[in-house]
Amino acid sequence: MAKYNSAGTSYVEVDDSGGTPRDLSPYADFIDFCGRDFYDPTVSIKQIVIQGPWDDKASTGSDVVLAGILGAVVTVSYGPAGNASGARKITGEWTFSDYSIEARAAGRLSQSQLDRGEGMVRYTAVFQISSGFSMTTWP
């Protein structure tokens, strides 16, 4: 069985405020579908949690994409093994319900902690199921 790294192989995209899918993969190092069994159609995924480094880069950064959609119903698409043609795709409509930004004060961290990225500003985005999801493959 193949194993995949979430912060290098997985792919996640979220619609921005204009409905354009934006690749958040570079800003997602943790994605949780609440441990649901995707292969059991009777079990619904209740929420998705995405966490990663916060970035306010124009049009593509995590904050620019997420800050404009809080409270909105958006399409979220996820490829655990990437978005190459034929790879698993989980997609659906989700309500973006919670957005938090956190950081540790850099003045309280040692240089080695900073070198390891422990002082990085991070975000957590929570999406609640709106109208179900489907499992297909990327075109």
Domain residue extents for the chain: 11-137
Longest CA pairwise span in the chain (Å)? 50
Mean pLDDT of 121-132: 88
- Is a pLDDT exceeding 60 seen at residue 23? yes
Q: For 65-118, write each residue's pLDDT tens digit.
A: 999 999 999 999 999 889 999 999 999 999 999 999 987 665 666 666 656 656
CATH number of the 11-137 domain: 2.40.10
Burial class of 86 by CB neighbour count within 10 A (0 to 12, 13 to 18, 19+): exposed
Backbone φ and ψ for 105, nearest 5 degrees, come out as -65, 120
Query: What is the residue whose two structure tokens read 């900073």?
Result: 114
pTM of the entire structure? 0.79
